[in-house]
Amino acid sequence: MREKKNKKNDFVVPIVVSLLLHVALVVALLWSTDFNMPKPQASGQMVQAVVIDPKLVQQQANEIRQQREKAAKKEQERLDKLRREAEQLEKNRKAEEEQLRKLKEQQVRDAKAAREAEEARKKREQEQKVAEEKVRQEKDRAAKLEAERKLKEEAIKKAEQERVAKEAAAAKAEQERLANEKAAKEAEEKALREREAAKKAEQERIAQQKAAAEAAEKARKEKARLQQLEKERKEKQEALDDIYSGLETEASHNNAAKSQFVTDETKRYGDIYTQLIQQRLIKDEYLLGKSCKVNIKLIPTGVDAIVNSVSILEGDTRVCNAAKSAILQVRNFPMPADEAVKQELRNINLTVDFE
């Protein structure tokens, strides 16, 4: 409305100027005309008349027209200037609107990035808590196994004392030894089959594990399996204890039993190490069905051990790199109290399967 009012005011000025010029022309014409009534003259005299100079009229008309054209031109220039200014203002307004729109979009992107960063931080904190809880549980389990092992060592020492007292019954002890050897062999074969079945079941369970709750279930099953293996080892140790009650000539057999015990314990702890490593493997379709053989040198720190070095023995490069990364993520490897077994575990070869 204000723009229309301004345009109306712009036309008023040239109209007023035009009217003033016309009024001035009329006044000039009237001024040059003599309106005095001539006195009556005697007949026969000439009648005087006032004649308007057409050149003067034409000159004044030209001046009025020039002034009107000049005013119209000036008005047109003013209108053109106003139009250009209005167009520039409109361009500036659109540019500011575009800048504001981009600023708002950037603010939305920044807010989204901040939310995503906060969610990622919370997720990392949760994963760290879960990992720390797993480590704590593993340490508790290793401590419990160590306590049980000490109790078993006490039992072995006591059995050894009893064996010395029973050396007088050599013949009977020999028969019991043969029977116990057969039972131990059968128990070992049974334990091997159960370990293979348990390993296969554990591998299938790990492949299906996707959540923390399943990881807890896995730990519970693994604990039960280890208890079963420990029970079998105890039975085998008891059988070996009975063997120790034989004649001194059976010392070589006792040494063989001790060697078998060290071998079994080394394998058992090797299975534990392998499972600790597999829990930290990053699953990749490329790696499935492949394996890597590695050598791990450990440094005992009491009931646990830390990694001194990892060497790749054979296997696909990507597979072995993933296995090496998982090994370095295991902070503590449980160690037995038996020095012979511990010595074997200081330098151990393992095969890591990606299943």
pTM summary value: 0.33
Flag whether pLDDT at 80 surpasses 80.
yes
147-190 pLDDT, tens digit per residue, is 889 988 887 788 788 898 888 888 887 888 888 888 878 878 87
Flag whether pLDDT at 138 surpasses 80.
yes
- The CA distance from 74 to 138, in Å, is 95
Q: Amino acid identity, residue 10?
A: D
Strands 291-300 and 333-334, bridge-based pairing = unpaired
Task: Note the pLDDT of residue 248.
Answer: 58
Q: How far apart are the first and last CA of the chain?
A: 80
Q: What are phi and psi of 194, to 5 degrees?
A: -65, -35
Q: Amino acid identity, residue 288?
A: L
Secondary structure in 3-state letters for 253-277: HHHHHHHHHHHHHHHHHHHHHHHHH
Contact predicate 264/233, CB 8 Å:
yes
246-272 pLDDT, tens digit per residue, is 655 666 676 788 889 999 999 999 999
- The CA distance from 157 to 127, in Å, is 45
Contact predicate 239/184, CB 8 Å:
yes
* Those residues with Cβ within 8 angstroms of residue 95's Cβ, 6 or more apart along the chain or in another chain: none
Residue 4 pLDDT class (50, 70, 90 cuts): low
Task: Note the pLDDT of residue 8.
Answer: 53
State the sign of the Cα–Cα–Cα–Cα dihedral 177, 178, 180, 185.
positive
8-34 pLDDT, tens digit per residue, is 555 566 677 677 777 777 666 666 554
